[in-house]
């Protein structure tokens, strides 16, 4: 199968590493060692990018309160790999400060920085900027515009401490003329696919909520929107985050992955329900009635979708069909989430299998 978008241009599948460990500081004094080690490995083995998220105030994803700091550390031990935040919760921050921080990363990394912007969804994150929560999507679009204005070395007017209107420019000034950017979406019916096409930026997405058919529909909407708004669809990228563990040939990968993966998903659901409890008036269920047993049942039922095509879990021969499918519908990059509960030693031992899979798609 060929990865052809509506422009008819065939594109090569790219492979990247995505991190989202739970809380490694419970097990180690150096909770960043695994991330740094695997980032160096990815750089030495020609992966396209390293991706890290932004997370706040919870053990789930506790390593990522400031992705720019972590990406700067990774930049110091790597040479070629792109360094991307996926995604940066823009309405939590002053866009001028984000532009300053990522201009520094751009220079330190020799122009390898990139950002997938998102409005976020966890209500407690917004203790950092509570006034922006209600209209977070509108704020996101506004802040992206401000970010891009100052990134392109244009002045932006702000009121200073003396209440005077002044022109502000970001220093140090970035080296990349345009920072690689993505808009993050987790579902097909939130207009983000069309909006990304209107803005002419890349898409970062996942299959935690969506089904394969939703993904295919979203990519079609995105490519058509790009073309409608005067952008070459072949020049923009769809990045898909997937849970990934590639075992040895004939290995019972499900036996290795299932229990730690279930625990990861349990932690993810509990994290989600904190949000749900704060917003249950807007939901179709009351999360307070769900017991631990209910959560375990939901996870046991839900994990089947990951073993049946919504992840890359198996040996190379088992997962290659899934890669071919994603390639055929227009996915350009697979952001491989490797640290979702599986023992870190095993991940390091099996990462060469993912590299072999990646090499099958290199020219």
In a domain, 124, yes or no: yes
In terms of pLDDT, which residue wins out, 192 or 59? 192
Question: Span 204-232, mean pLDDT?
Answer: 94
Give the pLDDT confidence of 103-126 residue by residue, as tens digits. Answer: 999 999 999 999 999 999 888 899
User: What was the pLDDT predicted at 260?
Assistant: 87
CB 10 within 8 A of CB 44: no
In a domain, 189, yes or no: yes
User: What was the pLDDT predicted at 50?
Assistant: 98
What distance lies between CA 1 and its chain's CA centroid? Answer: 26
In a domain, 331, yes or no: yes
Q: Nearest CA to 167 among 155, 182, 180?
A: 155
Whether residue 9 has pLDDT greater than 50: no
User: What was the pLDDT predicted at 53?
Assistant: 96
CATH number for the domain spanning 64: value is 3.20.20.30
What is the C-alpha to C-alpha distance for residues 188 and 215, in angstroms, rounded to an integer?
A: 7
Q: What angle do CA 267, 352, 321 make, to 5 degrees?
A: 75
pLDDT band (50, 70, 90) for residue 238:
very high
In a domain, 283, yes or no: no
Percent of the chain at pLDDT exceeding 90: 71
Q: Which residue has the tokens 């640290």?
A: 339
Give the pLDDT confidence of 151-179 residue by residue, as tens digits. Answer: 999 999 999 999 999 999 999 999 999 99
In a domain, 167, yes or no: yes
Instruction: Take residue 334 and report the two structure tokens written for it.
Output: 């697979």
Handedness of CA 92, 93, 94, 99 (dihedral sign): negative
Q: Which residue has the tokens 């072999």?
A: 356
- Read off φ and ψ for residue 305, nearest 5 degrees: -65, -30
| Ramachandran quadrant class, 230 (left: phi over 0; alpha: psi -120 to 50; beta: rest) | left
In a domain, 43, yes or no: yes
| Ramachandran quadrant class, 309 (left: phi over 0; alpha: psi -120 to 50; beta: rest) | left
In a domain, 21, yes or no: yes
In terms of pLDDT, which residue wins out, 30 or 53? 53
Handedness of CA 81, 87, 92, 96 (dihedral sign): positive
In terms of pLDDT, which residue wins out, 254 or 31? 254
Q: pTM of the full predicted structure?
A: 0.92
Whether residue 359 has pLDDT greater than 70: yes
In a domain, 160, yes or no: yes
Number of domains in the chain: 1
User: What was the pLDDT predicted at 281?
Assistant: 47
Question: Span 225-250, mean pLDDT?
Answer: 96
The parent domain of residue 164 ranges over 14-254+312-359
Question: Span 329-342, mean pLDDT?
Answer: 95
- Looking at every residue in the chain, the average pLDDT score rounds to 89
Instruction: Specify the DSSP element, H or E, that contains 198.
Output: helix 192-199
Query: E-strand spans in 213-325?
Result: 238-247, 312-315
Q: What is the dihedral of CA 316, 317, 320, 322, to 10 degrees?
A: -110
What distance lies between CA 201 and its chain's CA centroid? Answer: 15
């Amino acid at each position: 199968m060929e990865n052809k978008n509506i422009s008819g241009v065939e594109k090569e599948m790219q492979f990247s590493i995505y991190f989202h460990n739970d809380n490694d500081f419970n097990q180690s004094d150096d909770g960043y060692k695994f991330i740094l080690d695997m980032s160096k490995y990815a750089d030495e083995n020609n992966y396209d990018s390293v991706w890290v998220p932004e997370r706040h105030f919870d053990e789930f994803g506790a390593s990522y309160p400031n992705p720019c700091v972590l990406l700067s550390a990774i930049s110091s031990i790597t040479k070629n790999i792109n360094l991307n935040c996926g995604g940066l919760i823009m309405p939590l921050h002053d866009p001028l400060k984000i532009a300053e921080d990522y201009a520094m990363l751009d220079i330190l990394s020799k122009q390898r920085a990139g950002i997938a912007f998102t409005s976020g969804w966890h209500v407690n994150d917004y203790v950092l900027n509570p006034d922006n929560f209600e209209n977070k999507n509108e704020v996101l679009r506004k802040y992206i515009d401000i970010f891009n204005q100052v990134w392109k070395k244009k002045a932006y007017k702000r009121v200073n401490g003396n209440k005077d209107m002044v022109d502000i420019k970001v220093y140090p000034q970035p080296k990349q003329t345009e920072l690689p950017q993505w808009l993050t979406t987790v579902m097909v019916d939130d207009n983000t696919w069309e909006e990304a096409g209107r803005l002419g930026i890349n898409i970062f997405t996942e299959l935690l909520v969506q089904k394969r058919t939703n993904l295919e529909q979203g990519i079609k909407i995105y490519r058509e929107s790009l073309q409608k708004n005067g952008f070459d669809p072949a020049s923009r990228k769809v990045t898909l985050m997937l849970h990934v563990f590639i075992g040895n040939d004939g290995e019972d990968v499900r036996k290795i992955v299932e229990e730690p993966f279930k625990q990861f998903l349990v932690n993810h659901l509990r994290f989600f329900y904190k949000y749900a409890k704060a917003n249950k008036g807007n939901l179709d269920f009351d999360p307070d009635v769900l017991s631990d047993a209910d959560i375990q049942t939901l996870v046991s039922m839900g994990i089947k979708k990951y073993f049946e095509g919504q992840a890359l879990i198996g040996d190379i021969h088992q997962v290659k069909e899934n890669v071919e499918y994603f390639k055929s519908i227009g996915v350009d990059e697979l952001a491989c989430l490797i640290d979702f509960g599986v023992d870190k030693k095993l991940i390091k031992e099996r990462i060469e299998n993912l590299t072999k899979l990646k090499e099958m798609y290199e020219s």
